A and B are shown apart, each in its own frame.
Chain A
């Protein structure tokens, strides 16, 4: 079985659906950590798009890009969790609708 036999559109549709689910999650959830998980899901959908284009075209640049997206996502996760922690220390909450000192 080779990869080309499953059409590219299938991969693209799957990643578009994943991206949409992530986006909807970001817009509807209240918990900062779950919002962040949805963002990670969006990034993983992008990774799938990149890998499938890369395999389809026989070009390795897309796969290299995925490595960088993963590294950046890890850096963002570390910084993001640290910020959530700092917020929890001063405010005892992780819910974004309670973050309302300034107009959101």
Chain B
């Protein structure tokens, strides 16, 4: 019992602190300074605790959650993402007059939900984790209560998200009926031997995949993403599109692995491959025509979900390269996408102004540093060496080829080439066009958000120049 609490310390500590933060916020007036300090301290300590449990490998609480290795790796990513978001959010919230202190505890609760998702070893725990995260996201995306756009985004996200939850739980119920258990290990065992209702199992897996694809914003369940990402406050979008997506894939990977033995006719594998191909094509082609930068980045995040699903295809073909490829890509994706959105949040003016791609014309003259950083993130998102995005794509592409999906890789390469057009297009706009006359003349200081930008940029460059470092850690943890 003590061992259980000790090894699950990251989750327990973070959840308790989130609750305390909520009470502190209610008891103390004007508490945003206190809650801010407490929340970044909490996230830091949780990250350290997760790093401490990284070497362990096992289950806790009667096999309900896994501890260490896989979950702990994701814990660190979530804490990093939340920490960078909180720092970047501080100046943004002050400028938009959004000093409601619930923001901090909501972010912490969302992170605790994500951690539960990554640690889940039972469909029940997975469901609870997904819901904790989603409910926090519904509220966070409607955080600007006076903005019609933000509230609309919130309602859309809520209705579609709850709809997807229905499919998700129905899938879980059918898998329970077919295998007799919610436990991952027992589902895996049952899938290898005989199932009571093989057809129910397949329907259940299909419904579960629909639910998880929704959370990961994969085609054809991606339509909510652009609207919600555009309407939500920019810092919230930064958090949702990075940590939220990482959480969805942390749940996706074990699920695909445990149900793959039931997939004797390779149906699931083919469906995953088709979803992957469609997601990246739709994401990248839709991004071409966007005029709003948040919408463009939203579609690009849809496309990235497509690349990541190539790794899932490899996992369902029992290829270990899939796991390390996804883990590396997610780490890279966290920093490049977060960095890009934080720059957007710095340049944004209250009243949702300065969000068109046109407004970025001639940015290099007004904000040379921001333009340079944006260039780094764009090049990395496009997958151009020597940045982190390139190696992420490289590992995923090789994983797909090695599991026999050359056609998928060809589609991925084509859609990457399409994506270069709009990523480079933004860089050209920043450097080689004259600013339009309505361009802002006031210098916008990023404040402490510059910490986020610096960390993200360094991480993108470092992961790109020395990919072996992270890969060695991943190999050490998961044995290739």
**What residues of chain B lie closer than 8 Å to A87, measured between beta carbons?**
151-152, 154-155
New A-B contacts (12) at CB < 8 Å, excluding given A32-B155, A61-B124? A19-B166, A35-B159, A43-B165, A49-B177, A64-B124, A65-B173, A72-B131, A79-B135, A83-B139, A87-B151, A102-B153, A104-B223
* Residue numbers in B under 8 Å from A50 (CB-CB): 173, 176
Do B231 and A83 touch across chains, with their CB atoms under 8 A apart? no
Residue of A nearest to B124 (CB): A65
Which B residues touch A12, using CB under 8 A? Answer: 177
- A64 to B124: give the CA distance in the assembly, Å: 9
Give complex CA distance A62, B355 in Å.
48
Q: Which residue of B lies closest to A61 (CB)?
A: B182
Chosen A-B contacts, 21 in total, with CB atoms closer than 8 Å, are A12-B177, A39-B162, A39-B166, A42-B163, A43-B166, A46-B173, A50-B176, A59-B180, A65-B127, A65-B172, A65-B176, A65-B182, A76-B131, A83-B138, A83-B142, A83-B154, A84-B155, A87-B151, A91-B148, A96-B155, A99-B155
Establish whether residues B174 and A49, one from each chain, have CB atoms under 8 Å apart when the complex forms: yes
Select which of B127, B139, B174 is within 8 A of A72 by beta carbon: B127
Q: Which of B131, B166, B230 has the largest count of A CB atoms less than 10 A from its CB?
A: B166
Question: Which A residues contact B (CB, under 8 angstroms)?
Answer: 12, 19, 22-23, 26, 32, 35-36, 39, 42-43, 45-46, 49-50, 53, 57, 59, 61-62, 64-65, 68-69, 72, 75-76, 79-80, 83-84, 86-87, 89-91, 96, 99, 101-104
Give which listed residue, B139, B176, B181, B230, contacts A102 with CB less than 8 A: B230
Most buried by A among B135, B146, B170, B173: B173
Interface residue count for B (Cβ, 8 Å)? 40
Produce 1/0 per residue, B225-252, CB < 8 A to A: 0110011000000000000000000000
Which residue on B lies nearest to A69, using beta carbons? B169
* Bound CA–CA A25/B146 (angstroms): 30
For the A-B complex, the count of residue pairs with Cβ-Cβ distances under 8 Å equals 123
In the complex the two chains form, is A102's CB within 8 Å of B227's CB?
Answer: yes
Residue of B with least CB distance to A91: B148
Which among B142, B148, B155, B182 has the greatest number of chain A C-beta atoms within 10 A? B155
B residues 137-167 in Cβ contact with A at 8 Å: 138-139, 142, 145-149, 151-156, 158-159, 162-163, 165-166
CA distance A96 to B181 in the complex (A): 39
B127 near A61 (CB under 8 angstroms)?
no
Partner of B170, one of A45, A83, A99, A101: A45
Is A96 a contact of B231 with CB atoms below 8 Å? no
B residues near A57, Cβ cutoff 8 Å: 180
Report yes or no: A83 in contact with B155, Cβ–Cβ below 8 A.
Answer: yes
Asked if B173 and A104 sit within 8 Å, CB to CB, the answer is no
A99: nearest chain-B partner, CB-CB:
B152
- In chain B between 299 and 325, which residues have their CB closer than 8 angstroms to a CB of chain A? none
Across chains A and B, which 7 residue pairs bring their CB atoms closest together, nearest first? A42-B166, A53-B177, A49-B173, A102-B227, A46-B169, A72-B131, A39-B162
